[in-house]
Structure 1
Amino acid sequence: MAVTRDDYISLLSALLPPGPAWSPDDPAVKGAAPSLLRVHQRADALMHEIDPRTTTELINRWERIAGLPDECIPEGTQTIRQRQRRLDAKLNLAGGINEAFYLAQLEALGKKGATITRYIKSPFKCISPCTEVVDSPEWRYYWQVNMPASVDVNAMTCTDNCASPLRWWGDTVVECVLTKLCPSHTYVVFKYPE
């Protein structure tokens, strides 16, 4: 329920001493009510600033505390909503090196629906079933992030230089963040939909 100017007039009137000296129609009471209402509304607005997911005015301070922007995101390239998501993902980092942890990070970075594929832990042997994948032992250190279908795909244009690829895709922010968070003995591979 929103507080109005009339609410503050009635509150101030209730604080006045009884008697004929003051009335609710007094200009001092009516004049103080709008100022108190603005203070109340400002306090309500500042309550959104204590949460990194909703902050707008204090986002620069929040980012400075969290060490953002970092090498994953060039400064000035993100919208407020993207900055809030990245800030939330970094500040509310619960820790862990399991699949649920990385899926939560992907969701916080706006990639809801991403999945993780872990490669087989052991190499193919003579006694392995015929349907088993033939992998070298090094593949046990790799894991794959399967990105959802909502990924930008960029194509070469006439204004690009000759060294540009014909087509490229990927979310460099998500790739950088997950690469920084992955265990040091593992490698993460990103798979994008066709």
Structure 2
Amino acid sequence: MNALEYLDQAVKLLPQGKVWQVTPDTIMGKLLLAFSDGMARVDARMMALLEEADPRTAADTIAAWETLVGLPDACTGELTDLDDRRAAVWQKYTDRGGQSPEHFKAVASGLGYDVDIIQYEVFSCESRCGDFVRDSGWAFAWTVVVKPVDEDTPELGATIPGLECIISRSAPSHTATFFDYPAAPVPTLYFDFTQGF
């Protein structure tokens, strides 16, 4: 409600009679308008507080939301952009954990990356010919294969620290997590058949 709507309500609550006739130029009218203006500001602030209750729309309480979820942390660092801060708070607030490959794919997707998860099996008497021979330690290893998104995606030994930190932090503690950034295949031999021989 705005100040004029509060003023209208205040005037309607006054007792009946000539003494209580209120116009904008009377002392009572000015006093009620001042009270109404204060009530309108409180009303606007209460409506803004509803927006602050959701970390995706918070502005004034974003620091309190960050404290609640433990941000900034080693994985996100100090974020300055309000939208980035909101996204980091929302990601951490809604992350309920998980150990499935789908969970880690969803975490990477939330950060803007498309990944595959490779889980390894230990070589046993039931393994097929041609399977890799892996000892029991490999039962607890898995690899996150980061698919190239654009030309800024690291290749051949480079890393994405934020992605690796967040996935490693939420990975089961008894596992070893590896990251792979495959490069797009580059042809080693190229024939141009359009020019003729």
TM-score by length of 1: 0.69
1:178 is the counterpart of 2:167: yes
Q: Which residue of 31, 49, 54 corresponds with 2:57?
A: 54
Aligned counterpart, 1:42: 45
- Residues 36-76 of structure 1 show CA distances to partners (whole Å, capped at 9, x for unaligned) of 1111111222222222222222222222232221122333x
Aligned counterpart, 2:143: 143
Aligned counterpart, 2:95: 93
Could you tell me whether the CA contact under 8 Å between 1:170 and 1:192 is conserved in 2? no
- Residues 87-139 of structure 1 show CA distances to partners (whole Å, capped at 9, x for unaligned) of 2222222122113332343344x32x624322353549896276xx6464555
Gaps of at least 5 residues in structure 1 are 155-166
| RMSD value, Cα | 3.4
Cα distance, 1:121–1:153 mapped onto 2, change above 3 Å = closer
Cα distance, 1:125–1:40 mapped onto 2, change above 3 Å = same
1:149-164 matched pairs, under 5 angstroms: 149=149, 152-153=152-153
In structure 2, distance between residues paired with 1:66 and 1:190: 29
Could you tell me whether the CA contact under 8 Å between 1:66 and 1:90 is conserved in 2? yes
Letter in 2 for 1:8: Y
Q: Identity percentage over the alignment?
A: 22
> SS at the partner of 1:116?
strand
Cα distance, 1:168–1:144 mapped onto 2, change above 3 Å = closer
Could you tell me whether the CA contact under 8 Å between 1:182 and 1:188 is conserved in 2? no
Cα distance, 1:17–1:107 mapped onto 2, change above 3 Å = farther
Aligned length: 176
Could you tell me whether the CA contact under 8 Å between 1:146 and 1:192 is conserved in 2? yes
Cα distance, 1:119–1:45 mapped onto 2, change above 3 Å = same
Aligned counterpart, 1:189: 179
- Bigger radius of gyration among the two: 2
Gaps of at least 5 residues in structure 2 are 24-28, 185-197
> SS at the partner of 2:84?
helix
TM-score by length of 2: 0.69
